Amino acid sequence: MAVAKEDILETIANMTVMEVVELIKAMEEKFGVSAAAAFAPVAAMAPTAEAAAAVEEQTEFTVTLTGFGDKKVQVIKVIRSITGLGLKEAKDLVEGVPSVVKEGISKDEAGKIKKELEESGGTAEIK
């Protein structure tokens, strides 16, 4: 006589936790398997919500100048105001594109810097 899966599940649902533990032990002994070994790979492969949130939540950003267009002087002025570099250093940074303008900054600050650079004729990206 075959028992339906639904009947087995219903019976297990009505058992106490201790009865379920005893049933699992009995099944492990009868079939020579381990329930822990069957579930370990699945648990190891499933990312936790915390790990996924850590990957998605970036808190520090880097602004990189990727080009200066035909308004190099304007871009140099903006670089100087953003970084506090001297004229020669700012010019070297602009001419050495792609160049990191600022790193380890907030998303809002990175957005403002990118906007300033683009308004002056340059191109920038946020990473």
- pTM surpassing 0.85? no
Provide the residue ranges of all domains of the chain, joining segments of one domain with +.
5-37, 61-126
pLDDT digits (tens, 9 = 90+) for 92-107: 988 888 888 888 888 8
Residue 4: pLDDT over 80: yes
pLDDT at position 29: 87
CA 90/CA 76 separation, integer angstroms: 6
> What is the chain's alpha carbon radius of gyration, rounded to the nearest angstrom?
30
Architecture of domain 61-126: 2-Layer Sandwich (3.30)
Provide the residue type at 55 as one letter.
V
